[in-house]
Amino acid sequence: MDWVGRGNSRMKNVLVTGGAGFIGSNFIHHLLARTPVQRVVNLDALTYAGTPANLAEVQNDTRYRFVHADICDGEKVQALLREEHVDTIVHFAADTHVDRSIRDPETFYQTNVLGTLRLLEAARAVWAGDYTGKRFHHISTDEVYGTLEPGDPPFSESTPYIPRSPYAASKAAADHLVRSFFHTYGLPVTLSNCSNNYGPRQYPEKFIPLVIQRCLRGERIPIYGDGRQIRDWIYVEDHCCGILRILQDGRPGETYHLGGGNQPTNLEIANLICDLMDRKRPQSAQVPHRRLLQFITDRPGHDRRYAMDCTKIERELGWTPQIHLAEGLEQTVDWYLDHPEWLEAVIQAEPYRAWMHEQYPGEG
């Protein structure tokens, strides 16, 4: 098969926004290692969630360039699109943590809604109606659909949007803007809505790396509410493969779901990690790590369950997730155990300490 599928995206010069974050950095590694891409420009504002060390292995790759900038700076984005002859934009940049959005919704509106609009406007201005070989791919989330009860069918691409957190509402607004640019201006957009990612380089405010780092430090592992909330967990590498398939062969104007195809409760995830830690660190004074689990006050408006119907991308593009949850969790735990300097640098930095203090008061 040709690298470029149905003549959609040329994928020679790719702009990745938010590439210093978790999924964006994994995607850049994936692009450079597995595709014939000529240029990868990473535009990132380096908020607390952006970690330059995530790209340390590629910083001397002549195909790679880092640009410290904000997606809200439309003029700078336009200049960059022109200078680098960008044909493909993969838009990850966002504020992403639901708990932070509950404390500070306006930042989420600014980055996720206004930032996406500025990026769309920049692409429209620079591409100026010549859309041959161009693509604007927008990364979205399952959270735009709201919440499911235990027996409900999974979300499909036609499920109505009922976002319930400020984060989800801002992502929903961004999705609507992206679609509006397809219908109104013909901008060649695609969207993917993905479930919960896990894997290397995830900022440890999120549940899975938080559990791992609390195990390592022998600190309490906070479980919101009854711990029976259900997520669909996808290994980040599977997400990256799915995005590439959409860039290659996805149809402009279309949305594709990506998910891991599992339904564990948060408590089950925490127990699996604790058991892995018992096995990997049998001499640790924390064994059994399960005794670190502690139920705490629930997240306001906490969505009970997410589940994704991914039959569209399976049928149209032949994508299915390859990494089973048990295997992916073990690889993730191994990555954090093998990169203590990465974890230490992040958790000792002021933004992380301040957040832990604010979100989990009464500790240390």
Residue from 14, 16, 71, 178 in contact with ligand NAD (CB under 6 A)? 71
Residue from 10, 29, 91, 97 in contact with ligand DAU (CB under 6 A)? 97
Largest CA distance in the chain: 63
Q: Does 231 bind ligand DAU (CB under 6 A)?
A: yes
Q: Which of 128, 31, 119, 22 is nearest to 80 (CA)?
A: 119
Residue from 9, 10, 16, 18 in contact with ligand NAD (CB under 6 A)? 18
Residue 100 CA to residue 102 CA, distance in Å, equals 5
Q: Are 238 and 259 in contact (CB under 8 A)?
A: no
Residue 93 CA to residue 23 CA, distance in Å, equals 10
Residue 190 CA to residue 254 CA, distance in Å, equals 5
Q: Determine the interface stretch with ligand NAD among 65-73, 79-87, 308-316, 318-326 (rule: CB under 6 A).
A: 65-73
Residue 127 CA to residue 238 CA, distance in Å, equals 30
Q: How far is the CB of 362 from ligand NAD (least distance, A)?
A: 26
Q: How far is the CB of 328 from ligand DAU (least distance, A)?
A: 15
What are the CA-CA distances from residue 237 to residues 39, 197, 242, 249, 272 (Å)?
Answer: 21, 9, 9, 19, 20
Of the candidates 143, 205, 232, 249, the residue annotated as catalytic is 143
**DSSP state for residue 111 in the 8-state scheme:** I
How many residues at the interface with ligand NAD, by CB under 6 A?
30
Which one of ligand DAU, ligand NAD, none interacts with residue 207, CB within 5 to 8 A by kind? ligand DAU
Q: Does 46 bind ligand NAD (CB under 6 A)?
A: yes
What are the CA-CA distances from residue 252 to residues 83, 133, 195, 249 (Å)?
Answer: 25, 11, 22, 9
Residue from 64, 181, 306, 352 in contact with ligand DAU (CB under 6 A)? 306
Q: Does 49 bind ligand NAD (CB under 6 A)?
A: yes
Q: Does 67 bind ligand NAD (CB under 6 A)?
A: no
Burial class for 79, CB neighbours closer than 10 Å (0-12, 13-18, 19+):
middle
Residue 266 CA to residue 250 CA, distance in Å, equals 33
Burial class for 225, CB neighbours closer than 10 Å (0-12, 13-18, 19+):
middle
Q: How far is the CB of 144 from ligand DAU (least distance, A)?
A: 9
Q: How far is the CB of 105 from ligand DAU (least distance, A)?
A: 15
What are the CA-CA distances from residue 128 to residues 36, 85, 359 (Å)?
Answer: 26, 13, 45
Interface characters, 237-276, with ligand DAU (x: CB under 6 A): -----------------------------x----------
Which one of ligand NAD, ligand DAU, none interacts with residue 18, CB within 5 to 8 A by kind? ligand NAD
Which one of ligand NAD, ligand DAU, none interacts with residue 306, CB within 5 to 8 A by kind? ligand DAU
Q: How far is the CB of 273 from ligand NAD (least distance, A)?
A: 16
Q: How far is the CB of 132 from ligand NAD (least distance, A)?
A: 27
Q: Is 143 a catalytic residue?
A: yes
Q: Does 139 bind ligand NAD (CB under 6 A)?
A: yes
Q: Name residue 64's beta-bridge partners.
A: 40
Residue 354 CA to residue 358 CA, distance in Å, equals 6
Positions annotated as catalytic residues are 142-143, 167
Task: Report the interface residues with ligand DAU, using CB under 6 A.
Answer: 96-98, 141-143, 195-196, 206-207, 210, 222-224, 229, 231, 266, 299, 306
Q: Which residues bind ligand NAD (CB under 6 A)?
A: 17-18, 20-24, 44-47, 49-50, 70-72, 92-96, 111, 115, 139, 141, 171, 194, 196-197, 203
